[in-house]
Amino acid sequence: MVVNRKRIVIVGGSFGGVNAAYELRKQLGRKTDITLISKESAFTFTPSLPWLVMGWREPGPLQVPLAKPLKRAGIHFVHGNVEALDAEKCVISAGAERFSYDTLLLATGAELDYGAVPGLGPVTGFTESIFNVAEAGRARTALAETLSHDSGRIVVGAAPGASCIGPAYELIMMIDTVLKRAKRRHRFTLTYLTPEPFIGHFGIGGIGNSSRMVQDEFASRSIESITNARIIQAEPHRLILADGQECGFDFSLVIPAFLGSGFVRAVSGLANPKGFIPVTPNLANVKYPNIFSAGVAVAIPPPFATAVPVGVPKTGHMTELMARAAAHNIVAEFHGHPTIDGLSLPSLCIADAGDTAFYMSADPFLPPRNKAVTKRGKWARYLKLAFERYYLARIRYRLPSLHFGW
């Protein structure tokens, strides 16, 4: 008797896609065909990219080429861009290749919506960014040039609708630390520009006492802040806000808003107008139940209305938990077993500040919560570094999942 093998296709080679692939292989053994398609050839530990901008790290040690570890796990790896998805026929296209699937998992992350603000972005605009190795390397060069001068104006922040704001907090405090160590801090102005209604909001109303903690930190570092900021245009050496304010700069890094992947936006009914995928609690799409999603690609409405739009962040930790929940639910549906809630998840984040760091955890991620922890100390810097090294080894060698703090 011939038994049809289940075909699972995963799109995305970062925290969501790789972890989902490993978890599916672990639970299903070798009796299922698993294909992972990624536009990047290597996994990058993106939480460490602010260190790359500062010149404290090099790109190579932050990356793991995916082909070899995925092959060892029996996962077919395709390095290429997904160009089209036919959700009715269950076919996805990448270059000249077409892949049929029984179940599709989209862990596609997002595209950077520089076009939402004229002049924003590092290639055709006037501001830097930090979401891949190339961007971080460019920002590193620009920052080093600014810091080589006797004085300067540094503006770091986020555009309206931005969701992954954490790196901006890290970077501006790291710059403050470097300047203080060189005894040149008094020669530079540091301004944090954000659509958040208050410092430490993070798009989710804060975590525990994070707002008070970060506001005190900014005050002690003499970092100016402008909240409810709606950037409407970036020009050479200045950002223009909707209320008429202008922020001059010699170096500026602005976190853009995100868009869902282009091929996702092209499928009618799969995503919302921004291209993010609405899901049920088991992480299946509301229109196509055999399409699951995890991480940044998932549409999660903000828990609070704000004067200027601020998106909900999805940390690497949260993305991994969502990916593992999606994998569990895919297997459960194959076998007719109950699924689990993949949205009411905990999350943790460590934000480095150069000379100290902030540890923040929340359970669940969105309020109201059963638990919220915020702590500050140098120990958190070492914890982040240790977790980075462990995580890269985990991706390379399929080590067991490790989550501290829960």
Q: How does DSSP classify residue 143?
A: H
Q: Which residue has the tokens 């989209």?
A: 106
CA 273 to chain CA mean position, Å: 20
> Is the separation of the CB atoms in 130 and 224 below 8 Å?
no
Q: Using CA atoms of 215, 152, 162, 45 in order, give the dihedral in degrees to the nearest 10.
A: -90
Q: Enumerate the active-site residues.
A: 164, 349
Among 293, 391, 393, CA closest to 47 = 391
CA 81 to chain CA mean position, Å: 19
Burial of 181 (0-12, 13-18, 19+ CB in 10 A): exposed
Beta-carbon contacts of 318 under 8 Å, excluding residues fewer than 6 positions away, are 295, 345, 346, 347, 365
DSSP-based three-state secondary structure for 3: coil
> Is the separation of the CB atoms in 119 and 158 below 8 Å?
no
| Exposure class string for 94-121: b at 16+ Cβ within 10 A, else e | beeeebebbbbbbbbbbbbbbebbbbbb
E strand or H helix that includes residue 251: strand 251-255
Among 134, 196, 197, CA closest to 163 = 196
At position 296, the amino acid (one-letter code) is: V
CA–CA gap between residue 366 and residue 373 (Å, rounded): 13
CA–CA gap between residue 91 and residue 402 (Å, rounded): 35
Among 257, 230, 223, CA closest to 244 = 230
